Chain A
Amino acid sequence: MICAKFATLQCFMVQNGLKDLLDIFERRLIWELQGIGTCRATYDSMTYLPAGRYFLLDAGRSWPLEQGPAVVRK
């Protein structure tokens, strides 16, 4: 694997090279992630899951956590 290959290299890259690489990685990765976030927020904003409030009670339906079990008991 590349790990072993790198380990044999005494003079890999100037130090700024790795920092530049991290900068590229950050910009591209965050750009990709935010790209999908923007797309969803624009076209699909009504389908955002209120995670933490909902409780799965039955396949295909869900209720807010504080009301779900109570609905069943009634």
Chain B
Amino acid sequence: MLDGLGRWNKDLPLFESNSPAAKEMRSVAILASMSRIFVRQLFRPTYLLSVDSGLQEVLYRQAKDHSAKESRLRAAIIALLPQEREAAITGAVAMTCTEVSDLISGLLSPADATDFAEWLKEIAEEACEIWQDICRYSDSVRPDFALKDDEDYVWDQMFFEEGLPLFSDFGQIHDHDHDAVMFAIFPRLYVSFEGEEYPETHGVLFTTSHAQAARKEEQMAKISKPTRSDSVRTKLLRGRRPSARPTSTRVGNGPFRDALAA
């Protein structure tokens, strides 16, 4: 289901533990996944076409090339088939809720899942309504998760303090180490104007420094937990008796030899 969302989370330590650090990483992953689902399903100029129609990219390119043409074309597209529009909006909201529900499936009891789904639907409807207003501005507005700097706008960052999520200024990315940033949790919104794009919201980043505790815990868990091959090898060794024959010196027999020698 999330194949279309890219590989943004490949460095995030997600592992089987209920420690505070592990929960924080899962919280970050869920927030970042949800925002990507919302952007893909809801933040587009029309819901009459599928998310993969390519229309959005064409409009963005047109906005860079000639923004007046883009805004007029967008106005016409928004005005298309008003009778079908409401059903299309309902469908987009439902698809958003389905994708988010799939993401967290099994994590809530059936009763809580119902409450969660109702609340999620309200959020999706509200976001959809605001986004449709934004689509009616003459300037083209585009959400983007790319980690780009701007002279006038700094990124925000999200982190946890005693289990509570907090937001604060991160500053310019180039003021930090190159690897300090992992990915954007919430995208920036950019406005196209006369061939240039300008950020108008900050966007929220997650940084490697706030994943350190979880990463250490994950590494410790990997070291202490025996792998399947280790487990099989141990069983083999348990069942093997010392032989009177000389120990083989063939390559690849080292671990068995060392274990027996011990």
Contact = CB atoms under 8 A, between A and B. Distances in A.
B136 interface: yes
Contact of A17 (B23, B82, B109, B201): B23
Interface in B99-128: 102-109, 112, 115-116, 119-120, 123, 126-127
B31 A13 contact: no
Contact of A21 (B12, B18, B27): B27
B69 A54 contact: no
Contacts of B127: 29-30, 33
Given A6-B26, A24-B165, A33-B130, A49 B31 contact: no
Given A22-B119, A28-B204, A37-B130, A44 B138 contact: yes
Contacts of B59: none
Interface string A10-30: 011101011101101110111
Interface stretch (B71-79, B172-180, B232-240, B254-262): B71-79
Contacts of B76: 54-56, 62
Binding site secondary structure of chain B: helix
A58 B38 CA distance: 33
Contacts of A55: 76, 79
B137 A30 contact: no
B14 A7 contact: no
A51 interface: yes
Nearest to B204: A28
Contacts of A47: 137-139
B60 interface: no
Contact of B138 (A35, A37, A49, A56): A49
A-B complex: 9 closest residue pairs judged by Cβ atoms: A47-B138, A56-B76, A51-B78, A33-B130, A49-B75, A12-B107, A1-B2, A32-B201, A49-B136
Interface of B: 1-3, 9, 12, 14-16, 18, 23, 26-27, 29-31, 33-35, 38, 68-69, 71-76, 78-79, 82, 102-109, 112, 115-116, 119-120, 123, 126-127, 130-131, 133-139, 141, 165, 167, 186, 189, 191, 200-204
